[in-house]
């Protein structure tokens, strides 16, 4: 009896376990169970999500279109064509080794002498890249000479060229100015003793270029090639009480002693206007009146230093004497001397000109001592 009761208990426990497992299976989350529909003809089971979409996609996917690959025929290279290589890399192909050599020479010359002008010189140019040729194999584009040169010029790094260039420049400083007062000249007049120049400095710079671009200044040398000189002049202070009158024969200061020089009148005529301020303006010499064709003589021995036309004077003859004395005569006609000709005192240097209208022609005579005009009447014998 006890054994039969125990068996029934075990069977009941097993049946309870099966019921619990069935309930757990039904309540298990995340699992979707297929739904069953009864029909007279068939039983339809809906697929799990994703299956129908996958089947539809697979069913509607068109068959792949065959791809036709068009093969471009390799270019036909001329016999003897070569690849131009720079540092082992093929750049392009050319028709021959001779063309490659000509291309390299032309490109190198252009790079070496680029922007070389009158103020610069090429010191050195070097081909940095290692350039060679190899038989053309179709691996790089085939170019004409002009197209290849244009490609190299657009990208200098393909074949690198380095060069050093020396450039010269000159800088000039401002000259100084010095003036001093002088009663030998009228108020407002300036007599320049010297035209100054600034100091000139020559700068030599050696510049390093690579692939057309300045890399650095290698060396700079500054050298002063001329010294500074001052502009100096005399500023006039000479004035008269009655500037509107005709000056007398003894106007102005006497200059230095004439030494052994003996000055004589340059023409046989009358003095009609003297040295000095007249009508408000300075008259730097004396005027002689003589008839047309009268001879004009050298006032003293000397050398002709000017012979020609000068604005405001007409035809001028200047004779340099000793000790800084210079005679200036104008206007002369039919000049009888030449530049740098040595003349003796009393030698004919020209003739009095003809003038239109009434009156006699005028000879203007100035005597300069160390560049300053003085009254000639103080020195004529």
Do 142 and 256 reside in the same domain of the chain? no
Q: Are residues 287 and 370 in the same domain?
A: yes
User: Same domain for 246 and 366?
Assistant: yes
What's the pLDDT at 69?
56
Report long-range pairs for 211-216 (Cβ below 8 Å, ≥24 apart). Answer: 211/156, 211/157, 211/160, 211/161, 211/162, 212/111, 212/114, 212/156, 215/162
Element (H, E) at 13: helix 2-27
Residue 117 pLDDT exceeds 70: yes
To the nearest 10 degrees (0 to 180), the angle between helices 97-112 and 145-154 is 40
User: If you average pLDDT over each of 5-14, 80-89, 115-124, which comes out highest?
Assistant: 80-89
Least confident of 143-152, 175-184, 362-371: 175-184
Domain range holding 192? 170-234
**Highest mean predicted confidence (pLDDT) among 12-21, 45-54, 168-177, 351-360:** 168-177
Residues 229 and 244 in one domain: no
Q: Bigger pLDDT: 320 or 8?
A: 320
**100 and 208 housed in the same domain:** no
CATH number for position 251: 2.70.70.10
The Cα–Cα gap between 381 and 376 comes to 10
Q: Which residues pair with 168 in a beta bridge?
A: 204
Residue 236 CB neighbours (<10 A): 18
Are 155 and 201 part of one and the same domain? no
Percent over 70 (pLDDT), the chain: 79
**Residue 46 in domain:** no
pLDDT band at 27 (very low <50, low <70, confident <90, very high): very low
User: So what's the pLDDT on residue 207?
Assistant: 87
pLDDT in tens, 272-305: 999 999 888 899 999 999 999 999 999 999 999 9
End-of-domain residue from the set 143, 161, 179: 161
Give every CB contact of residue 297 below 8 A, 6+ residues apart in sequence.
264, 265, 266, 267, 345, 346, 347, 348, 349
Query: Which of the four pLDDT bands, split at 50, 70 and 90, describes residue 34?
Result: very low
Q: Do 317 and 373 belong together in one domain?
A: yes
Question: DSSP string covering 225-293, please?
Answer: EE----EEEEEEEE--S-TTSPP-TT-S---S--TT--B--SSSSEEEE-SEEETTEEE-SEEEE--TT
Residue 248 lies in a domain: yes
For range 25-52, the mean pLDDT:
40
Place 8 in a pLDDT band, splitting at 50, 70 and 90. low
- 156 and 175 belong to one structural domain: no
User: H/E element holding 222?
Assistant: strand 213-226
Contacts of 25 (CB under 8 A, 6+ apart): none
125 shares its domain with 201: no
- Please determine, for residue 125, whether its predicted confidence score (pLDDT) is greater than 90: yes
Q: How confident is the model at residue 52 (pLDDT cuts 50, 70, 90)?
A: very low
**What is the 8-class DSSP label of residue 324?**
G
> Residues 365-374: what's their mean pLDDT?
95
Per the prediction, the chain carries an average pLDDT of 84
- The structure's pTM equals 0.52
Q: Is residue 56 part of a domain?
A: no
Residue holding tokens 């800088």?
A: 171
Question: Beta-strand (E) ranges in 65-195?
Answer: 82-86, 89-94, 120-127, 131-135, 161-172, 177-186, 190-194
What's the rounded Cα separation, in Å, for the pair 181 and 237?
A: 7
- Those residues whose C-beta lies under 8 Å from the C-beta of residue 225, and which sit 6 or more positions away, are 170, 200, 201, 202
- In this predicted model, what pLDDT tens digit does every residue of 239-268 receive, in sequence order? 888 888 889 999 988 999 999 999 999 999
DSSP state at residue 349: E
């Amino acid at each position: 009896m006890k054994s039969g009761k125990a068996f029934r208990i075990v069977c009941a426990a097993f049946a309870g376990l099966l019921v619990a497992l069935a309930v757990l299976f039904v309540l298990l989350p995340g699992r979707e169970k297929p739904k069953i529909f009864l029909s007279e003809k068939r039983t339809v089971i809906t697929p799990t999500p994703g299956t129908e979409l996958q089947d539809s996609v697979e069913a509607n996917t068109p068959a792949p279109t065959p791809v036709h690959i068009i093969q471009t025929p390799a270019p036909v290279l001329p016999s003897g064509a070569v690849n131009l290589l720079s540092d082992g890399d093929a750049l392009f192909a050319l028709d021959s080794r001779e063309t490659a050599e000509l291309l390299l020479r032309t490109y190198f010359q252009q790079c070496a002498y680029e922007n070389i002008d009158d103020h610069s010189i090429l010191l050195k140019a070097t081909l940095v890249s290692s350039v060679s040729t190899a038989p053309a194999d179709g691996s790089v584009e085939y170019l004409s000479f002009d197209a290849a040169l244009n490609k190299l010029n657009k990208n200098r790094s393909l074949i690198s060229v380095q060069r050093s260039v020396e450039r010269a420049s000159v800088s000039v400083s401002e000259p100084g100015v010095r003036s001093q007062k002088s009663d030998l000249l009228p108020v407002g007049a300036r007599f320049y003793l010297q035209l100054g120049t600034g100091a000139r400095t020559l700068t030599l710079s050696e510049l390093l270029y690579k692939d057309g671009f300045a890399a650095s200044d290698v060396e700079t040398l500054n050298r002063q090639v001329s010294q500074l000189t001052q502009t100096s002049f005399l500023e006039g202070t000479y004035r008269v009480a009655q500037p509107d009158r005709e000056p007398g024969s003894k106007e102005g200061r006497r200059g230095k002693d004439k030494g052994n020089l003996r000055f004589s009148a340059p023409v046989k005529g009358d003095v009609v206007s003297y040295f000095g301020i007249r009508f408000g303006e300075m008259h730097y010499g004396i005027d002689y009146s003589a008839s047309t064709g009268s001879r004009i003589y050298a006032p003293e021995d000397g050398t002709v230093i000017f012979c020609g036309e000068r604005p405001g004077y007409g035809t001028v003859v200047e004779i340099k004497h000793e000790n800084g004395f210079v005679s200036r005569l104008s206007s002369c006609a039919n000049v009888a001397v030449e530049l740098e000709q040595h003349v003796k005192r009393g030698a004919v240097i020209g003739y009095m000109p003809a003038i239109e209208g009434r009156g006699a022609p005028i000879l203007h005579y100035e005597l300069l001592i160390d560049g300053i005009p003085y009254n000639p009447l103080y020195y004529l014998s």
